[in-house]
Amino acid sequence: MVKTKDFILFEAFRLFLEKGYDKVSMNELVRVSGLSKGAFYHYFTSKEELFRQAITTHFIAGLGEGIAPAKQGDTLLASLIGIIDSKAQAYKNMLEMNENSNFFNLLFQAISMFPEFRNDLKVGNLLEEDKLVQILESALAKGEISSAVSTRKLAQMYAAMLDGMELHAVVTGELDSLHNEERKATAEFVNLLKGNS
């Protein structure tokens, strides 16, 4: 059974995704919670507090969790494709919350309102980077790839490539093809590390 606070956070996040922070009123937040105003204010005393917790719960807390450590026997390509697939699933889940997802706008609003989110994002990105390093080190140890570049730098390059592709897809409105394009770019990245061009 979903706890009341979790339900409020979920419903509020959906509203924020749909409309953005500025266009959501406290009355709407109370209404979607299904609670009386008094009961609602028992959980959250302000829209700002609710926004902060909704962003933390539904975005910041999940950073780094979508990347599983390298499994013994998995190839580098299979491990990296697993990352792409988990990101695609997370985005699909986000769209199921709200078809008109303004995810990036909401994230930029959160950073603008709460500058400390930059640090939370950095920590989350470092967790993702650490997992990528493990995957790359496993591939190096198995002799699957070779590189004079450190696994840390390779992990940073790969993550930056994906981030760039995702931002580009948002700007150009090509989100529908993003998953396939990231899979293709990942295969090319692995081929480069194998010495194939």
**Domains present along the chain, CATH in parentheses:** 4-53 (1.10.10.60), 59-194 (1.10.357)
| pLDDT at 181 exceeding the cut of 70 | yes
pLDDT at 135: 93
Find the radius of gyration of the CA atoms of the chain: 19
Which residue's entry shows tokens 């933390």?
A: 56
| pLDDT at 169 exceeding the cut of 90 | no
pLDDT at 101: 57
Cβ(17)–Cβ(106) below 8 Å? yes
d(CA 61, CA 11): 17
Confidence of residue 19 (pLDDT cuts 50, 70, 90): confident
Cα–Cα distances (Å) from 108 to 71, 82, 114, 138, in that order, read: 35, 27, 10, 35
pLDDT at 162: 93
Q: Which long-range contacts (CB under 8 A, 24 or more apart) does 44-47 make?
A: 44/8, 47/21
pLDDT at 139: 94
| Stated pTM of the model | 0.78
pLDDT at 117: 86
| pLDDT at 27 exceeding the cut of 90 | yes
- Closest of 163, 147, 67 to residue 107, by C-alpha: 163
pLDDT at 12: 92
pLDDT at 123: 87
pLDDT in tens, 107-146: 888 889 988 888 888 888 888 899 899 999 999 999 999 9
d(CA 164, CA 7): 33
| pLDDT at 190 exceeding the cut of 70 | yes
Q: What is the average pLDDT across 70-87?
A: 83
| pLDDT at 95 exceeding the cut of 70 | no
- Closest of 64, 62, 87, 83 to residue 74, by C-alpha: 83
Q: What is the average pLDDT across 61-84?
A: 74
pLDDT at 197: 56
